[in-house]
Structure 1
Amino acid sequence: MEKYIACILLLSLFLHTSCQTCDEDSSQCEGDSKKSGCGCSASRDSSEHSNDEQPGDKSVKDIFDISDLSRTNEMLFIERATFTMGTNEPVFPVDGEGPARKVTVDSFYLDKHEVSNAEFQRFVEDTNYVTEVAAAPWWIPVNGADWRHPNGPDTSIKDIMDHPVVHVSWNDAVKYCEWAGKRLPTEAEFERTCKGNLKSRLFPWGNKEEPKGKHWMNIWHGKFPSENTASDGYYTTAPVTEFPEQNILGVKNIIGNVWEWTQDWWETKFTPTPKKNPKGPRFGTDRVKKGGSFMCHKNYCYRYRCDARSQNTPDSSAVNLGFRCASDKLPPYLEDVTEEILLKEENIIKEEL
């Protein structure tokens, strides 16, 4: 009964938005031995959702002018490094947060920002791609919700084009990254970027949720699920450019805001044996997601830590799940953009000196 009461509370807060049954996160936070992770192995059959039920993917009126918006598809160079993946002090052992093991990751590029609605619209306009729109199994489905109508058919992304795209499945994310000449990051690449050059820290910048009293991420503030104070400025998603760069690598929102898909199939049994460029098991039913979201609270789903992890079926989507892309080499069309950004940063440093 409690989980349904929680859902009603969330529905009242988010109006038309989908909500969790709270069975997922709260049970894990209380140490229940539910199936590993925040995810669920069952998947709603995506065939239930016909193209006619996806107005956001086909409606011309939902194509918005984004010519004045700055591009947010720039990539960061992440140097080869050996880091400690996982932890020997897991918060949720059932999630496979441990043990700590040495992992070496070769150099790669990673999007500085989560993929925004504007960037995803460019992809859809260019390819006429239609998303899967298969709701995550433990969410209450909202008819007509899709990436262009994240909280139902009466909602729009017109005023949040710079927010992360949501209601995209793992398969949708793969298609976008392929179109962009990129790929999804491995879990190891994601965690290496999250941890930066720090050791044994909870967050990309250290151990304090609010360093010097400032908000560095978008999570649930207040009493979950009855009160969200939005003291970080946002009840739901925030712009992909919001908040400070979360560590020395320059990445934005690598934790908080929305969960992010990774390449890897889900597994929970690891050993301390050192690994190089791990890519997860060859087969599975769920894909790994990292980073936590605006719906995460320390008492319920304390998974906005670098060590934390969860999972969804590849055809699942949710209002708090997005992605960013990686690449072994910088796509040629971004070379000039990257050089321009580096020059601007050099000029800023010179001015400060």
Structure 2
Amino acid sequence: MGNDHQMSQPNERPAHKVRLTGFWMDVHDVTNAEFRRFVDATGYVTTAEQKPRWEDLRPQLPPGTPRPDDSALVAGAMVFVGTETEVSLRDYSRWWRFVPGANWRHPQGPGSNIDGKDEHPVVQVSYEDAQAYAQWTGKRLPTEAEWEFAARGGYEQATYSWGNELQPQGQAMANIWDTRQQQPFPVVKDEKVQVGTTPVGSYAPNGYGLYDMAGNVWQWTADWYRADAFMVQAQYRQPPTDPAGPADSFDPSDGNVPASAPKRVTRGGSFLCSDTYCISYRASARRGTDPLNPMSHLGFRTVMTPEQWKSAQARQRSIASR
């Protein structure tokens, strides 16, 4: 796990050994069609469709932040809106906006929809939403270690899921912000260039047959995020087997957000990652995300243990024999 390459960030270091037992993983991210079946069957209401609770917001804000008026707490989610001109990349609030009414059915806000996008990855889902879906399907979210092992596709310490070259023989391998085809991030003035998700499986799979382990949408994992997790893990005398991640969160680098604010690990990068910003489509790249913060570039996929797989197969055989 991790990477000591010159492109790696401090939270990816050092490279260290981890042992994993076998697991099954979704071939692609959970799609709008799949998530719709879950909602139709259960009546589930996502985080973005609910009025925010102050007790959930407060840990993500500087100490002493006054409680906003109750009328300001409205259902919605974070939406990438871009900019008209180049701006400093230090302030992501320039290209993100909280949009009331944004949710998985309306990813950009009330005026948007997912018509014709059944095969696009579902977005605007929180960690809790992903957990609820996984439980309904008899699966679970991958641990960070499982996710990285799967993303590597059999390569040992390669930069990307497909090797060390970003575009081998000039071929695009992931839905990312290609600065050779698009304007500089985060400029979206050219309406001819579409910025957003692409259908799952639009690019070649990695060596394990998995699609979109880089780019398209960030993916939730089960682990709490600590910036120093790999440094701690590398100190074990023996490589840990099936590590479940740290017991709490720690991220001292996120501006005004308290270092101990709850965060879960997200992986894979998204359509917003470019060679000038983020570069998180690398196999070892990692970040922490507020588990109750749905965003328009954030989705998930699920995994199964061998035991869960056997149970699922037994259920299918039982249904087929009726």
Q: What TM-score, normalized by structure 2, do the two folds share?
A: 0.73
1:235 to 180, 195, 201: 195
Match of residue 277 from structure 1 = 242
Structure-2 change in CA distance of 1:261 and 1:239 (3 Å): same
Encode CA deviations 1:55-110: one digit per residue, 9 max, x unaligned. Answer: xxxxxxxxxxxxxxxxxxxxxxxxxxxxxx0012253534x101010111110011
Match of residue 220 from structure 2 = 261
Deviation at 1:201, TM superposition (A): 0.8
* Maintained 8 Å contact 1:195/1:204: yes
SS in 2 for 1:104: coil
Match of residue 311 from structure 1 = 288
* Maintained 8 Å contact 1:220/1:228: no
Match of residue 199 from structure 1 = 156
Deviation at 1:336, TM superposition (A): 10
* Maintained 8 Å contact 1:182/1:331: no
- The equivalences for 1:94-113 within 5 A come to 94=10, 96-113=11-28
**Distance in 1 of aligned mates of 2:209 and 2:118:** 22
RMSD: 2.4
Give structure 1 stretches of 5+ with no counterpart.
Answer: 1-84, 338-353
Match of residue 89 from structure 1 = 5
* Maintained 8 Å contact 1:114/1:253: yes
- The equivalences for 1:1-353 within 5 A come to 85-89=1-5, 91=7, 93-94=9-10, 96-133=11-48, 135=77, 139-222=96-179, 223-226=184-187, 235-245=195-205, 247-269=206-228, 270-271=230-231, 272=234, 273=236, 274-284=239-249, 285-329=262-306, 330=309, 332-333=311-312
Q: What TM-score, normalized by structure 1, do the two folds share?
A: 0.66
- The number of aligned residues is 250
Deviation at 1:196, TM superposition (A): 2.1
Deviation at 1:226, TM superposition (A): 2.2
Encode CA deviations 1:111-162: one digit per residue, 9 max, x unaligned. Answer: 0010000000000000000000163595311121100000111111111111
Deviation at 1:171, TM superposition (A): 0.4
SS in 2 for 1:268: coil
**Distance in 2 of aligned mates of 1:302 and 1:323:** 19
Structure-2 change in CA distance of 1:334 and 1:205 (3 Å): farther
The residue identity in structure 1 corresponding to 2:217 is V
Q: What percentage of residue pairs aligned between the two structures are identical?
A: 40
**Distance in 2 of aligned mates of 1:217 and 1:229:** 21
**Distance in 1 of aligned mates of 2:302 and 2:101:** 27
Higher relative contact order (CA 8 A, sep 6+): 2
**Distance in 1 of aligned mates of 2:175 and 2:199:** 10
SS in 2 for 1:141: strand
* Maintained 8 Å contact 1:228/1:235: no
SS in 2 for 1:249: coil
* Maintained 8 Å contact 1:221/1:228: no
User: Bigger CA drift: 119-128 or 279-288?
Assistant: 279-288
**Distance in 2 of aligned mates of 1:216 and 1:336:** 37
The residue identity in structure 1 corresponding to 2:131 is V
**Distance in 2 of aligned mates of 1:190 and 1:230:** 35
